[in-house]
Amino acid sequence: MRTEWARKMEADLEERTQWALALKQEKETAVADFERAVAESENSRRHIQALEKELADAKVRYRSNFYGQVESSFGKTHLLSALALFRDDPQQINSLLTPFENVTAAQIKSAAAKYLVATNRTAIDRVPEAKPQPKTGQ
């Protein structure tokens, strides 16, 4: 009888140990999930700041390229003629930069969240055919 009682106690102890380990693992998982969420939040804030800097740099480059094009006689003439022909308003040359200057980091993040998703992705695994071995001895 004592051995039966000892087996029951060992089984009970084993069950309680497993329960305690599972509880500890759940706690560690919850803490890790919380820490991951906090890190993602901080990374998101850093990412927005980096995005704002990249956007400012991109606006400077775009504006510089635009003015570089407009500075040359051919570039200005071409742009004015295209605006006159296709938009019937060559005065738009004075306000072409406005839509690009008004883009915000939030708009870029929103567009990225909408269009750059895994379900909207195509991956092509292109493997070229093996080249035929040159004939030797001829």
Residue ranges in the chain modelled with pLDDT below 70: 1-2, 20, 23-24, 27, 31, 34-35, 37-48, 118, 123, 137-138
CA neighbours closer than 13 Å in the CB half-sphere of residue 2 = 0
pTM above 0.75, yes or no: no
Output the pLDDT for position 101.
92
* Residue 94: C-alpha distances to residues 56, 59, 83, 107 (Å): 21, 17, 11, 24
Output the pLDDT for position 40.
66
Q: Where are the domains of the chain?
A: 2-116
Output the pLDDT for position 84.
92
Output the pLDDT for position 102.
93
